[in-house]
Amino acid sequence: MSKFLERAGTALSLTALLAAGVAFADDAAPEKAGGYGLGRVALPEEVAAWNTDVRPDGQGLPVGSGDVMTGEQIFTDNCAMCHGDFGEGAGRWPVLAGGQGSLENKDPVKTIGSYWPYLSTVFDYVNRAMPFGHSKSLQPDEVYAITAYLLYLNDLVGEDFTLSNENFTEVRLPNEANFIPDDRPTTEYPIFSADACMDNCKPTVEITMHASVLDVTPDTATAADTSGEGSVELAQATTTEPATAAEPTPAPEPVAVAAAPELIAAGEAVFRKCKTCHQVGEGAVNRVGPELNGLVGRTMGSVEGFRYSNVFTDANAAGEVWTVDALHTFLTNPRQAMAGTKMSFAGLRDPAEIDAVLAYLQSVGG
């Protein structure tokens, strides 16, 4: 065969090889009594070194434990550079927290708190693949601590929670019940493997749905009229005498409104994402961020003793005030609302969460 290949050159088709009578084996090599003398049986410790997967029932978990606060420090040192201080994601790296209620959205946010079915997947992935570029460098206690911190970021446990191999299976993720066994072999395969109809498959055809997100239809017929016949109304609108400019209305003083206890409790849960940097209530002091007592209604950048970024120094000089609307805008996307802020938090995407945390802040800090 080697001489044939040398004569035929470097590019031979399968047809040419078959024509030359080259045989191709279609079975495995025959067994040989006593083996082939290659390799040896793996030692138990060698198998254990590779067998590190963790199942949803807890099988495979190493002995160990880790608490939320320890996990916060380990996460900051090893994970925050890609995933953000609060799991909000940095750049194009994955978001790890939030997304609850977003799975029906056009662009869902799939996190531990919104999508993942089993906590074992979280532990197993961190243990195998993280930190990026330095995988398998974490000890079991550190993986438990990071996993506990991720649960905390998703409002699934409190800050005093400790995760261990003993209580691991007691933690259930919110979306677990929505994962079901794959039944496509019995429900879909018979349908799509049948002979396809190619002609006169239905007696009639009717439109049952229209595209809904085209944004090409004008709001009114008048605005859409380009013939000139419907332009009278628009012309009249443009020739109306301009209204006299009104004096600017000062921002209303904040009015204390008693929030429902359920809203305040929900806000306390949301504030877990903030308390690493901010304090509120009796004895609150400045930390990474300023204390938040009396936040609604106070002048921006006005907390004594805190060193603000330039954007807040300018806002303070302009007399800008933290109104409810201003806080909604800022907390939705801090970096967009106040370009140049030192605040690294990506923001709260759900307006209901912002309402809740503001209710909580007003209940405990005025």
Q: What is the pLDDT of residue 227?
A: 44
- Minimum mean pLDDT range among 1-10, 95-104, 317-326: 1-10
Sequence-distant (≥ 6) Cβ neighbours of residue 309 within 8 angstroms: 340, 341, 342
Instruction: Identify the residue whose tokens are 């496509």.
Output: 184
CA distances (Å), origin 180, targets 154, 177, 345: 23, 7, 35
Percent with pLDDT over 90 in the chain: 38
- pLDDT tier at 149 (50, 70, 90 boundaries)? very high
Q: How far apart are CA 36 and CA 33, in angstroms?
A: 8
Q: Is residue 303 predicted with pLDDT exceeding 80?
A: yes
Q: What is the pLDDT of residue 151?
A: 96
Report, at the CATH architecture level, how domain 261-365 is classified: Orthogonal Bundle (1.10)
CA angle 109, 163, 270 (to 5 degrees): 45
Q: What is the pLDDT of residue 97?
A: 92
Q: Is 299 helix (H, G, I), strand (E, B) or coil?
A: strand
Task: Answer for the pair 362, 258: CB distance below 8 angstroms, yes or no.
Answer: no
Q: How far apart are CA 13 and CA 262, in angstroms?
A: 74
Q: Is residue 170 predicted with pLDDT exceeding 50?
A: yes
CA nearest to 81, candidates 72, 89, 73 = 89
Q: For the residues 86-94, what does the mean pLDDT come to? A: 88
25 vs 355, more confident:
355
Q: For the residues 158-166, what does the mean pLDDT come to? A: 95
Per-residue pLDDT reduced to its tens digit, 174-203:
999 999 889 999 999 988 888 888 888 888
Percent with pLDDT over 70 in the chain: 78
Q: What is the pLDDT of residue 269?
A: 85
Q: What is the pLDDT of residue 53?
A: 92
Q: How far apart are CA 366 and CA 355, in angstroms?
A: 15
Task: Answer for the pair 165, 62: CB distance below 8 angstroms, yes or no.
Answer: yes
- Minimum mean pLDDT range among 45-54, 221-230, 266-275, 319-328: 221-230
Q: Is 45 helix (H, G, I), strand (E, B) or coil?
A: helix
- Minimum mean pLDDT range among 138-142, 262-266, 316-320: 262-266
- pLDDT tier at 223 (50, 70, 90 boundaries)? very low
Is 53-178's fold the same as 261-365's? yes
Q: Is residue 216 predicted with pLDDT exceeding 60?
A: no
Per-residue pLDDT reduced to its tens digit, 20-37:
444 544 556 677 787 788
Buried-exposed string 169-194: b where 16+ CB fall within 10 A, e elsewhere: bebebbbeeeeeeeeeeeeeeeeeee
Instruction: Identify the residue whose tokens are 């308390």.
Output: 275
- pLDDT tier at 357 (50, 70, 90 boundaries)? confident
Q: Which residues are 299's β-sheet partners?
A: 321
- pLDDT tier at 239 (50, 70, 90 boundaries)? very low
CA angle 197, 203, 206 (to 5 degrees): 105
CB-side exposure of 115: number of CA atoms within 13 Å?
Answer: 14
Superfamily classification of domain 53-178: Cytochrome c-like domain (1.10.760.10)
Sequence-distant (≥ 6) Cβ neighbours of residue 241 within 8 angstroms: none
- pLDDT tier at 50 (50, 70, 90 boundaries)? confident
Q: For the residues 75-92, what does the mean pLDDT come to? A: 90
Q: What is the pLDDT of residue 29?
A: 65
Q: What is the pLDDT of residue 129?
A: 94
Q: What is the pLDDT of residue 220?
A: 54
Q: How far apart are CA 99 and CA 346, in angstroms?
A: 13
Q: Is residue 290 predicted with pLDDT exceeding 80?
A: yes
In the chain, domain spans: 53-178, 261-365
209 vs 93, more confident:
93
Q: Is residue 136 predicted with pLDDT exceeding 80?
A: yes
- Tell me: cis bond preceding 94? Omega within 30 of 0 counts: no
Cite the DSSP H helix spans in the chain: 2-8, 14-19, 44-50, 68-78, 80-83, 119-129, 140-153, 184-187, 189-192, 221-224, 232-238, 261-270, 310-317, 324-332, 334-337, 351-365
CA nearest to 126, candidates 106, 101, 151 = 151
Q: For the residues 222-232, what does the mean pLDDT come to? A: 43
Q: What are phi and psi of 191, to 5 degrees?
A: -70, -50
- pLDDT tier at 249 (50, 70, 90 boundaries)? low
Cα 239 to chain centroid distance, Å, stands at 50
Q: How far apart are CA 267 and CA 363, in angstroms?
A: 10
* Packing angle, helices 68-78 and 140-153, rounded to 10: 100
Q: Hey, which of 78-87, 141-150, 195-204, 324-333 has the most confident mean pLDDT?
A: 141-150
Share the mean pLDDT of the chain: 81
